[in-house]
Amino acid sequence: MAELTTGQLVALSGVLLGAIIGWVARWARFCTFGAVEDMVLTGDLRRLKCWALAIAVAMLGVQLMHTTGIARIDETFYLGPNLHWAGAIAGGLLFGLGMALVGTCGFGTLVRMGGGDLKAVVTFLVMGLTAYMTASGITSYPRRFVLEAVDLDLSNIGGQGLPHIAAALFGLDAQNLWLPMALVFAGLLLAWCFAGDGLRGNPRDVTAGLVIGLVVIGGFAATGILGNDPFEPAPVQSLSYVIPPGRTVIYLATFVGSTINFSIALVFGTIAGSFACALWKAELRLEAYDDAREMRRHLLGGFMMGFGGVSAYGCTIGQGISGMATLSAAAPLALGAILVGATGGLYYLLTGSLRDAFGLTFRRIRQRA
């Protein structure tokens, strides 16, 4: 048997990790928009706390690898020299609004595809191609010349990590701050997760949060450790579901001579894992649009998620868990904007007015503050 190359090993890891998270997400009903919907409409925070648990687990594992230097975490684009603050906010708002129009995020789209949802197939194609165009095609112009024109260059302090910024503000050594900051942030998230009627006594959501956090750690380990080959280096990354669907479409369209990578393999694995779980739970069924209005809403939502997700440098999983785990300063900006956009989008579906929707959203934020 021929020995696998580094690229093949990393891609195989992507398939495996995708299959795990695809299975778990369908089994546990893990959906970030569903979590927002539960919070806004019924005040139920359980699915939101499952998401927070995944962030806490991923953050601890990733920062342990960062501190020990075993996975090249400092090479990830999340910790690059430019803080894309405008893209994180504007792109996050657009992504969240698009997520509400579609009813799920990029990751949820793949999970739905695994169960036979034909609407999700259309969203996948629109979101993926829009994301690819926004990364390097015609829709990249507003991203590059408007949103990224106001980026903050933080190369003089080492990058856009929260420890970089804290070290610059207080005259400390950033190298000594990564793990302590992760312990503090993860500790606060864990305390919130298990406070009150949250995840305590809810083994399914606890299991899902733990597994998804571990899969994100596994993504950074696969690309940062297995991919640490001087002759065939893999970019350090983990789970994200905006540009990878676009890359997958292009890979399928140019299969001869194309090379599979971690993010493309992750897409295939996620769909396969969801399909296996749907088959096991007898949930496989074809679903289509009810009418043209619903189709228009999904087409617009897919476009907004593709453009917004690339502009924000990630989605609910890419920035919301993977980015947060690296302690990137852009990640909480993008995550907060996504939550605001999703809440506003949900109210828009209920009221039919964007003005009223975001008025209700900011009123709710003020009440919680």
Q: Tell me the per-residue pLDDT of 303-314, one tens digit each, with 9 for 90 and over.
A: 999 999 999 999
pLDDT the model gives residue 257: 75
Burial class (CB in 10 A: 0-12, 13-18, 19+), 246: buried
Residues of the chain above pLDDT 90, percent: 84
Q: Which range marks the domain in which residue 101 is found? A: 22-368
Provide CB contacts within 8 A for 81, sequence distance 6+.
Answer: 153, 154, 155, 159, 160
- How confident is the model over 21-43, as pLDDT tens digits? 999 999 999 998 999 999 988 88
Q: Is residue 5 situated within a structural domain?
A: no
Instruction: Check pLDDT > 70 for residue 78.
Output: yes
pLDDT band at 281 (very low <50, low <70, confident <90, very high): very high
Over residues 75-99, mean pLDDT? 96
Residue type, position 228, single letter: N
Least confident of 29-43, 104-118, 147-161, 334-348: 29-43
pLDDT at residue 185 above 60? Answer: yes
Most confident by average pLDDT, 37-51, 188-202, 324-338:
324-338
pLDDT at 318 over 70: yes
Out of 14-18, 130-134, 205-209, 258-262, least confident range: 258-262
Residue 240 in any domain: the answer is yes
Report the b/e string of 248-270 with b at 16+ CB within 10 A: bbebeeeeeeeebbbbbbbbbbb
Q: Give one DSSP letter per residue of 259-292, joined into a string.
A: ---HHHHHHHHHHHHHHHHHHHTT----B--SSH
Q: What residues form DSSP beta bridges with 153?
A: 82
Task: Kindly state whether residue 127 falls inside one of the protein's structural domains.
Answer: yes
Is 244 within the bounds of a domain? yes
- The pLDDT, as a whole number, for residue 369 is 64
**Does 280 fall in a domain?**
yes
| DSSP bridge pairs for 82 | 153
Is 17 contained in some domain? no
The rounded mean pLDDT for the chain is 93
- Residue 169 Cα distances to 162, 175, 324, 327, angstroms: 11, 14, 21, 16
**Which residue has better confidence, 138 or 364?**
138
In this prediction, residues 192-199 reach a mean pLDDT of 84
The SS3 assignment for 163 reads helix
Rg (CA), the chain: 20
Binned at pLDDT 50, 70 and 90, residue 97 comes out as: very high
What pLDDT does residue 1 have? 40
| Residue 294 to residue 252: CA distance in whole angstroms | 28
Residue 91 has pLDDT above 70, yes or no: yes
224-260 pLDDT tens trace: 999 998 888 889 999 999 999 999 999 999 987 788 9
Residue 338's pLDDT band (boundaries 50, 70, 90)? very high
> What's the rounded Cα separation, in Å, for the pair 203 and 23?
16
Q: 361 versus 302: which is more confidently predicted?
A: 302
Mean of the pLDDT values across residues 286-302?
A: 93
Residue 2, pLDDT > 70, answer no
Strand bridging mode 152-153 / 82-83: antiparallel
| Mean pLDDT computed over 79-84 | 95
Asked if residue 224 belongs to a domain, the reply is: yes
DSSP structural state of residue 117: B
pTM listed for this prediction:
0.95
Asked whether residue 357 is assigned to any structural domain, the reply reads yes
Question: How many domains does the chain fold into?
Answer: 1
Which distant-in-sequence residues (6+ apart) come within 8 Å of 224 by Cβ?
65, 70, 71, 72, 73, 75, 236
